[in-house]
Amino acid sequence: MKDVTQLSDGWGLRHEDTVLPARVPGCVHTDLLAAGIISDPFIGANEHDIAWVGDQAWAYTARLTADTAHERTDLVFDGLDTAAEITLDGKVLGRTRNMHRTHRFDVTGRAGELQVRFTPAREEAEAVRKTVGDRPNVYPEPSQYIRKMACSFGWDWGPTVVTAGIWRPARLEHWSTARIAQARPVVTVTGAQGRVEIHLTVERTGGGAGRLLTARASVAGTDTEVTFADGHALLVLDVPEPELWWPRGYGKQPLYDLTVALADGDDTLDTWRRRIGFRTIELDRTPDAYGTGFTLVVNGVRLFARGVNWIPDDVLPSRVTPERYRHRLTQAADANVDLVRVWGGGIYEDDTFYDVCDELGLMVWQDFLFACSAYPEEQPLRGEVEAEARENVVRLMPHPSLVLWNGNNENLWGFRDWGWEPELAGDSWGGGYYLELLPRVVAELDPTRPYTAGSPWSGSWDHHPNDPAHGTHHSWEVWNRRDYAEYRDSVPRFVAEFGWQAPPALATLQRALPGEDLAPDSPGMLHHQKAEDGNGKLDRGVARHFALPRGTGAGFDRWHYLTQLVQARAVAAGIEHWRSHWPRCAGTVVWQLNDCWPVSSWAAVDGDGRLKPLYHELRRLYADRLLTLQPTADGVALCLVNQAAVPWRAEVTVRRTAAEGTVTARVPLTVEVGARDAVRTPLPADLLGLDGEFLVADVDGLRAVYFPVPDREFPYARPDFDVRVESVPGAADTVDVVVSAHTLVRDLLLQPDRLAPDAVSDTGLVTLLPGEEGRIRVGGWAGPDAEQARAAIFCVEPS
């Protein structure tokens, strides 16, 4: 039987004349932090002070002892970041230049000092650039010349922290006769019949060559075995009537243990285990009256995808533990998200990420790792790209949550539209990867899963890659240059990226910027804002609707509230509009769920894991049932979205209300919404022609409000409300903050971290009419001071 020795202990990192204790998996930054040699790059402007770390060569050392009980010993690295030379007792075992691959070296019978020496990533990238020639990149760093997480080099939400290290586990594998080199399960469902075809590859020792071995596979109570003498075997398991895996909200997530064992007579040599699921997945891109659709179809059910974009959860990705993956993905699921796109400037995430998505019913859209630049297709990159794709396709394909492979992020768009094509003048740029190599690899290895060449991509060069009428679309004009209301000007077929920035929670800012007198343009705030003209865009976004606050103290607090409010309203404007156009629009993927450090960004969950108001808003926006009021060319439409499997007979009351709360018209409307359907109904004339008034629609606990003018033009009364704090029986450190409104109170927000840094609330923005009460549950704060609670509350005020 194969024996595995984890190589997590006993590592040292050479630093000047000493050897520091090193963690594997880890990286130079985490080791230097633990040794107190560098300061935390997330705090203040430390990012600059520690930049030298990325420009230095680093060496890790450990002692290997020889094993004599097996024919073979392999040294296996699940991930080396990135350009490394591996030596054993001074003799070179090999060189690596790809963080996204595993590496295996035969060290049979050998012992001595193991050294992994890393060349600085920039040095390696620049050397490759020299041989293949310069190419366009949206960002200033040479990220496309090295197979390393692109955002290590900095992004418009990320710091530049150029890592090096043994970032995934390392181990010795001792084995004799043969081992399982690869198991590739192709899972299909036809009618009620499930089938698993396992394509098995084994590696044999000299002694094992030509020997008759047995491979046994089992799943769901069925098993099979084959005997073979070479390197390959095919095992087929037929599973009658498997329970189907569904995305969350559509059904359950049954998972089946699939086991493969390799045996030499009675002697088990190696085993391989994964959990799989049975489901079908298609991507419908049929041309129709509006252009070319992009609709995911799971088990025959057409879905509107309620998505978020995922970036590495830490710019030092080796720090992301299984618990943290689970926590972050559970946050996504709790916000009614059902699809997560793993974006191409990051990494193929750890197995845990996909395991948790399988369990939670989160569909995964996986980008291949190319983002925002022209990638050379010459060696040494081409071979690395193919090897990396083959390995990761096989690693991730057992997961039923994985529904789509995507060639790249924005590179087809960049080639055609951002001046790359003329600048490249015929040089390779990655097109051969996205349009030939990667689709070929997916078709060969993972033939049941759809592939799309890029995001955005219209499906062919006949249309602009970002044409909203064809395929996927990234909607960035609105954030960059316009008011959020302008999301309503188009109905893309699938919005794979759109979003709006806001600063993180106050407690996150206070931790990251200790001692700073916070202002929108205070030094730390500017350092923790990486987007081009980011603060200008934030300010203009606010100023289109509100008087723009400035300065420190109360001015900053107000700016902070309003920027977070506008972020939530902007994303709401997009999703409400696009969902109401289902099935023409078949998905929205918000940029972005998470952050990789404390920063002003598009994220819904900030770099310290705190929830922005957008997060709570997502829960409403992505619920099965959504109620909204949408402006149309000649009035207002009542829109009802019903993504549930049962029809919805909605008895809606729409009220026309004066600013101070008098109801001037009340119209009951009954709308029949079919299962998984959306209905837009024009409002009758007596609800239109609003003059200093607004509309409120209510149905089944859902509420929509509609204001015909920007807030600064609306005649709000000064908001008047009482606050009381009630303890929650049986729950220590949990209270209800109850707000009773005497006037209209629009977009009230309690910022829980102002009560205690780790306090959380279950509610984001709420709008109360005069006489109404809002109840906000706060965990992690015991109260009972109502004045304190009141000081943590913000709402819209008259200009």
Task: Please say which residue, 372 or 704, places its beta carbon nearer to ligand BMA.
Answer: 372
- Residue 475 is given by DSSP the state E
Dist. CA 704–CA 721, nearest whole Å: 21
Dist. CA 589–CA 492, nearest whole Å: 12
Q: Would you say how long the chain is, in residues?
A: 799
Torsion of CA 364, 368, 373, 376, to 10 degrees: 180
Helix (H, G, I), strand (E, B) or coil at 588: strand
Q: Which residues are CB-contacts of 626 (< 8 A; sequence separation ≥ 6)? A: 576, 579, 580, 620, 639, 640, 641, 702
- By the criterion CB under 6 A, which residues form the site for ligand BMA? 155-157, 345, 371-372, 409-410, 497, 591
Dist. CA 321–CA 342, nearest whole Å: 17
Least separation in angstroms between CB 455 and ligand BMA: 8
Asked if the peptide bond before residue 719 counts as cis, ω within 30 degrees of 0, the response is: no
Alpha helices (H) in 115-262, listed in sequence order? 121-132
Task: Please say which residue, 272 or 591, places its beta carbon nearer to ligand BMA.
Answer: 591
Task: Please say which residue, 410 or 539, places its beta carbon nearer to ligand BMA.
Answer: 410
Tokens of 799: 């200009």
Task: Please say which residue, 156 or 351, places its beta carbon nearer to ligand BMA.
Answer: 156
Task: Please say which residue, 304 or 591, places its beta carbon nearer to ligand BMA.
Answer: 591
Least separation in angstroms between CB 620 and ligand BMA: 24
Dist. CA 328–CA 308, nearest whole Å: 12
Amino acid making up residue 4: V
Task: Please say which residue, 457 or 561, places its beta carbon nearer to ligand BMA.
Answer: 457
Tokens of 32: 């230097």
In whole angstroms, how far apart are CA 84 and each of 8, 70, 99, 117? 18, 28, 10, 5
Least separation in angstroms between CB 156 and ligand BMA: 5
Least separation in angstroms between CB 497 and ligand BMA: 5
Least separation in angstroms between CB 219 and ligand BMA: 38
Active site residue 141: no
Tokens of 45: 């402007």
Least separation in angstroms between CB 764 and ligand BMA: 22
Dist. CA 702–CA 715, nearest whole Å: 25
Least separation in angstroms between CB 152 and ligand BMA: 14
Dist. CA 46–CA 62, nearest whole Å: 30
Of 317, 378, 629, which Cα lies nearest the Cα of 485?
A: 629
Alpha carbons within 13 angstroms on the beta-carbon side of residue 751 total 21
Task: Please say which residue, 185 or 312, places its beta carbon nearer to ligand BMA.
Answer: 312
Q: Which residues are CB-contacts of 430 (< 8 A; sequence separation ≥ 6)? A: 370, 374, 375, 376, 377, 408, 411, 415
Say which of 124, 388, 410, 576 is annotated catalytic.
410
Least separation in angstroms between CB 454 and ligand BMA: 11
Of 613, 621, 669, 661, which Cα lies nearest the Cα of 643?
A: 621
Task: Please say which residue, 590 or 723, places its beta carbon nearer to ligand BMA.
Answer: 590
Using only C-alpha atoms, the chain has a radius of gyration, in whole angstroms, of 28
Dist. CA 597–CA 606, nearest whole Å: 8
The residues assigned a catalytic role are 410
